[in-house]
Each structure stands twice: as C-alpha cells, then as structure tokens.
Amino acid sequence: MSTTVRGPAIEVAGLRKSYRSKSGTQLVLDGVDLVVPAGTITALLGPNGSGKTTTVGVLSTLLAADAGTIRVAGHDIAREPDAVRASIGVTGQITAVDELLTGTENLRLMADLNHLGKSAGRRRATALLEQFGLAEAAGKPVATYSGGMKRKLDLAMTLVGTPSVVFLDEPTTGLDPRSRRTLWDEVRALVEGGTTILLTTQYLEEADRLADSVAVLHGGRIVAEGTPAELKSVHDAGSLDEVFLALTEPPTEEEAGTDAAAATGPTQDKENVR
C-alpha cells in the first residue's frame, strides 16, 4: 500500500442532513464532525434512529449532504463521487447479495464491475471464497445459504475491489457468536493490511474489542469521541454500556421542543431501508 496517502481516510466537518417528506422536514444530522485516521477502525455508536446509517449513507455517496465538507480516501465527496466510489467498499444493513446467483457468480459479478479482468477476477473470487470459508458452498445458489454465510459473502463482495476505506453498517447484527468472531477476525486482518474501517454497531462489546476509536452519535451530533479506554475513564464507567447510557439519555420534554433531531430520534425506530 505504498501509494496510500497518510493522513485521515475520512474527514467530516459540519455534516448536516435532513429528510423531506410530506409530513415535513426531519433533521437527522445536525453538524457531525468526525476524523478517521487511515489504517484504523472507528466505531460509530448511537441509539436507534440517531443517524448512524444516514452518516454511512452520506459518506458512501448514497445520500447527498445538505451541508458540510466531506473527504473520503482523499477525495471530496461532492466533487469527485466516482473517485470516492472507486476507493470504498460498503456493507450495508440489508444484505446486498444476488440470491439467485451462486457465491462464485456474485463475486465474479463484483470483479467484473470492478474491471479486474477475467483471470484476475477469477483468482480474486476464489481467494475470497477460501478466506471466508465459503469454498464448499461456492457453487450453490445464495438463496440456500444461512444468514451467517450470506453476511460473509456480502463482506467478501465488498472487498473484491480492494477498497482502502470500508464502511460496515451493523455487520454482525443477527449473527451467532461464532460467525461474529469470524467477521471480527476478517475485520482485524483488513486493518493490518492498511484498510480503514468505519463501523456502526449495536453491540458495545464489538466496539470495545475492535475499535481504535469510538464516536457516539446522539441528537444529530457526535457527543463523545475517544478510545474505548478514554471514554470509560472520562465517564468513570466500567463498560461502554454505561458510557453509552450516560451519553444518550432521551431528552426531557423541554429539550425536545428545541432539538428537532432528538425529538424524533431515540424512541422511534429507524425505518428499514428498501
């Protein structure tokens, strides 16, 4: 990775995003600032509906920011979205695999879309199938895979293009402990290889074990940032659970009146992405 420019892989300043619908405008991100150094894992924590997925959506070019400057892998997201897309890999909350195709076909599809060339694409697909323990099921349609296998294939598909920045939006939700650990190992291996990872998760243990740095999103802003150890010592807490609960208390009614994002935030579950 000698070509990697050292410095932050993700730089976000003043990111604002609201959704407009018939029922009005809902502010979700109200000035998010975030820096993720290259080659590190940052975990984004926050209550349901706090805007974690929206943040990943904006950083992965799926959603347009209303305001703010964002650089991913050294490219301005508004001016060079395609350069950003060529540098990133995204594993979203909903498993994004083609259920009708086999594991091999899914990976080759990604190789073709990454313009790897036929033989290089085949090698990459085979290597990833081995690496994720999917070699045996490689020729079977993905519809027959278990949830854990689909999630592994999903991540493998994200990695086909060797992205330098990887977004993982709740990658281990719904996985059994063994599958979760396998994914953690893969994530660690990625970072050892120089990849930068922004991870959202509901499992604070996951953040504690994996992340170099944790950012807590609440009320549309980052309310705390630091290493897991720093956050625990600042809040005099034994676990990230306690830190999380201290930082993300639902707003009182008085505050709710003035804080548009929080008013509809913590109690309301986020709608599923279609």
Partner 1 sequence: MTAIATTAPTTTARPRPVADVLTMLRRSLLRAVRYPGLTVFIVGGPMVMLLLFVYVFGGAFGAGVAPGITPGADGRAAYLDYITPTLLVITVVGGATSVAVSAAMDAASGIMSRFKTMAISPGSILSGHVLGFAVQAMIAVVLVLGAAIAMGYRPEADALDWLALLGLFVLLGICLNWLCVAMGLGARSVETASNTPMLLLLLPFLGSGFVPVETMPTAVRWFAEHQPFTPIIDTVRGLLAGGAGLEGSTAVQAVAWSVVIGVAGYVWARALFRRERRV
Q: Which residues bind partner 1 (CB under 8 A)?
A: 1, 3, 19, 21, 53-54, 56-57, 60-64, 80, 82-83, 85-88, 90, 92-101, 105, 109, 112-116, 120, 124, 127-128, 131, 141, 157-159, 161-164, 186, 189-190, 192-195, 270-271, 273-274
**Residue closer to partner 1, measured from CB, 3 or 258:** 3
Nearest approach in angstroms of CB 67 to partner 1 is 16
Nearest approach in angstroms of CB 2 to partner 1 is 9
Output DSSP code: residue 22: T
Nearest approach in angstroms of CB 273 to partner 1 is 5
18 near 27, Cβ under 8 Å?
Answer: yes
3-state secondary structure (DSSP) of residue 193? coil
**Residue closer to partner 1, measured from CB, 112 or 249:** 112
**Residue closer to partner 1, measured from CB, 3 or 252:** 3
**Residue closer to partner 1, measured from CB, 42 or 53:** 53
**Residue closer to partner 1, measured from CB, 113 or 229:** 113
Nearest-angstrom CA–CA distance, 184 and 35: 22
* Per-residue exposure over 153-178, b if at least 16 CB sit within 10 Å of its own CB, e if not: bbbbbbbbbebbbbbbbbbbeebeee
DSSP 204-242: HHHHHHH-SEEEEEETTEEEEEE-HHHHHHHTT-SSHHH
Nearest-angstrom CA–CA distance, 102 and 139: 5
Nearest approach in angstroms of CB 85 to partner 1 is 4
